[in-house]
Amino acid sequence: MSTRTVYAPQPGSTSWPRKVLAHARMEFRLLLRNGEQLLLALVIPLGLLLLLGGTGLGDRLPLGDGPAIDLAVPRVLALAVLSTSFTSLAIATGFERRYGVIKRLGASPLSRTGLLAGKIGSVLAIQLVQLIVLTGTGFALGWKPVGGVDAVIGIVLMVLCGTAAFASLGLLMAGVLRAEATLAAANLLYLLLLVGGAVMTPVDEYPAGLQGIVRLLPSAALANGFAHSTLEGVIPWAAVLSLTLWAAVLGYLVSRTFRWD
């Protein structure tokens, strides 16, 4: 007969980086199994890029002056960051709260910073996949970015600052609204920003009276930042500043509203 397991207490937490890595890996795996999240993260941005850059549709839409694929890639990259770090994250976190996952994790050694860092880690991992797929498709369709190293730095900064700002917005929404309300509000805001937030259309194409307001939106900063990086080859410091300010304000609100149940 086998001896029974000894349950004598031996509590302890593994190191913070290991916990963050474990959580990021778990969320990443779960997203890969979730069809709706994959749709948001990859299928919609990829489909839009193919439509705008591969069919001639981009030439008829107000994307700006220049080859449609060069104009479409930075804006689709902005859309990808928006969908993953905001919409997808907000909906997933809202339902984690509904299903008691947040509560379960609150009673584990993960810690609040570990949970948030793990979520951000998972979002960044997904965005790395998005970047590879979307820029690869862009190159295949004739995309010719300018600027070399500065463009690369600009893209990386936009991904990081955009993730910080929009993930904070998503977590804030999931923290104060019920799961169903988060689902509806995150999708609605996604569509509103897509159409009215200068994600797919440059700010200059909006009516003059609206341009001042639209320019202040984080979505406009994100899309313009990507566009300046790849179309002009510069590091978009104004967009970095704007997104950092948004991240600071929204991050503060998340820290004030976060709860484990």
- The span of 44-52, 100-108, 149-157, 205-213 binding other proteins (CB under 8 A) equals 100-108
User: What does the alpha-carbon distance between residue 87 and residue 141 come to, in Å, rounded to a whole number?
Assistant: 27
Rounded to a whole number, what is the largest CA-CA distance in the chain?
Answer: 82
Contact with other proteins (CB under 8 A) among 139, 237, 252, 260: 260
Kindly state the smallest distance separating residue 67's Cβ from other proteins, in Å.
Answer: 41
Q: Which is nearer to other proteins, 5 or 148 (CB)?
A: 5
Kindly state the smallest distance separating residue 182's Cβ from other proteins, in Å.
Answer: 16
261 touches other proteins by CB under 8 A: yes
| Residues shown for the chain | 261
Q: Exposure pattern of 176-215 as b/e (b: 16+ CB <10 Å)?
A: ebebeebbebbeebbeebbebbbbbbbbeebeeeeeeebb
Residue 254 backbone phi and psi in degrees, to 5 = -60, -45
Kindly state the smallest distance separating residue 196's Cβ from other proteins, in Å.
Answer: 33
Contact with other proteins (CB under 8 A) among 1, 10, 65, 209: 10
Sign, CA torsion 43/230/124/181 = negative
Contact with other proteins (CB under 8 A) among 43, 101, 195, 238: 101
Contact with other proteins (CB under 8 A) among 28, 34, 50, 204: 34
8 touches other proteins by CB under 8 A: yes
Give the pair of three-digit tokens for residue 175: 């923290």
User: What does the alpha-carbon distance between residue 200 and residue 51 come to, in Å, rounded to a whole number?
Assistant: 13
Q: Which is nearer to other proteins, 8 or 149 (CB)?
A: 8
Contact with other proteins (CB under 8 A) among 46, 51, 67, 111: 111
Are 171 and 258 in contact, with CB atoms under 8 Å apart? yes
Contact with other proteins (CB under 8 A) among 1, 4, 65, 256: 4
22 touches other proteins by CB under 8 A: yes
Q: Which is nearer to other proteins, 99 or 139 (CB)?
A: 99
User: What does the alpha-carbon distance between residue 145 and residue 6 come to, in Å, rounded to a whole number?
Assistant: 62
User: What does the alpha-carbon distance between residue 88 and residue 203 come to, in Å, rounded to a whole number?
Assistant: 25
Residues interacting with other proteins, by CB under 8 A?
4-14, 18-19, 22-23, 26, 29-30, 33-34, 95-96, 99-101, 103-104, 106-112, 260-261
